[in-house]
Amino acid sequence: MNRVSVVVPARNEEDLLPRCLFALRQQTHENFEIIVVDSASTDNTQQVARSFGARVIRLEEPGVGRARQAGFDGATGDIIVSTDADAICKPDWLQRIVAPFADQAVVGTFGTIKLTGQPIWTRLGHALFSGFQAANLRVGHPLFCGPNFAVRKNAFRDVDGFRVEGEYPDEAEDVRLAQKLKKRGKILFLPHNKVIVSSRRLDKGQGLRYTGHHAGVYLKVCWLGSVKRGKSRQLRLDQRPR
């Protein structure tokens, strides 16, 4: 059985990280490590991570692309799985996302997300995003999403990971990676393998701005062939890179 590493980038996530790590500790899959990348946090993120037995990699310079790269570089597993500090997974999530790697032609797998909250727009948003992922994959443009994808380590290294022209993307590092990996082997979408993700980035009237901005990024990366390093405009609720 392949050893698996789960990488969680986190910046000032002491409040939400415990739920993420508790869920990871309930996984039915065996033989995996958890790596939390502390991306220049100023709170107790690092202590929380260690209290759940996670290995911590500390970075003094923040940035989600840099943080994911550090975690993936430090992983000991043959399969590396990505999630986020505000994501909560079901007990069979890890087992399901790594199972397809039994086929040596598979270099990546990805699932989808379900936002917290009851408003109808969150449910509608989930359905639209999952359909958008499936449609894009059918036309050759897989859409990894940071909280829910996995890659084969040797393929990740072959494409220089998240780096683009030697630099770290400020946004859409997951999508850019998928575009590089699709030339290396099979990438599979697992639409029923969901993780629950906080809707905090869509609160306080940010929903339309956030969605519109990221739709534009996906268009440039997937359809216009622009995989260059983007400007930092992630429109996060707390405006802090992970």
Residue 242 lies in a domain: no
pLDDT (tens digit, 0 to 9) for every residue of the chain, 242 residues total? 689 999 999 999 999 999 999 999 999 999 999 999 999 999 999 999 999 999 999 999 999 999 999 999 999 999 999 999 999 999 999 999 999 999 999 999 999 988 876 565 556 666 667 677 777 778 778 889 999 999 999 999 999 999 988 889 877 899 899 999 999 999 999 999 999 998 666 555 554 454 554 555 666 665 556 544 443 322 222 233 44
Q: Distance from first CA to last CA of the chain, Å, rounded? A: 32
Any idea which residue has 């990024």 for tokens?
A: 217
- The answer to whether 5 and 81 are in contact (CB under 8 A) is yes
For the CA atoms of 195, 150, 20, 130, what is the dihedral angle to 10 degrees? -20
pLDDT at 230: 41
Find the domain containing 49 and state its range: 4-223
Please report how the helices 173-181 and 64-74 are oriented relative to each other, as an axis angle in degrees rounded to 10: 50
Nearest 5°: the CA angle 129, 130, 136 is 85
Residues near 242 by Cβ (< 8 Å), separated by ≥ 6?
9, 10, 11, 13, 39, 62, 63, 64, 67, 84, 85
Closest to 17 (Cα-Cα) out of 107, 103, 85, 96: 85
In this structure, what DSSP letter does residue 91 have?
T
Residue 100 lies in a domain: yes
Residue 240 lies in a domain: no
Residue 230 lies in a domain: no
Residue 234 lies in a domain: no
pLDDT at 232: 31
Q: Are strands 106-115 and 79-82 parallel, antiparallel or unpaired?
A: unpaired
pLDDT at 32: 97
- The answer to whether 85 and 64 are in contact (CB under 8 A) is no
Residue 239 lies in a domain: no
Residue 229 lies in a domain: no
CATH classification at residue 73: 3.90.550.10
Residue 228 lies in a domain: no
How many structural domains does the chain have?
1
For the CA atoms of 186, 191, 193, 199, what is the dihedral angle to 10 degrees? 120
The beta-strand segments (E) located in 28-185 are 32-39, 55-59, 79-82, 87-89, 106-115, 149-152
Q: Which two tokens stand for residue 114?
A: 């379900």
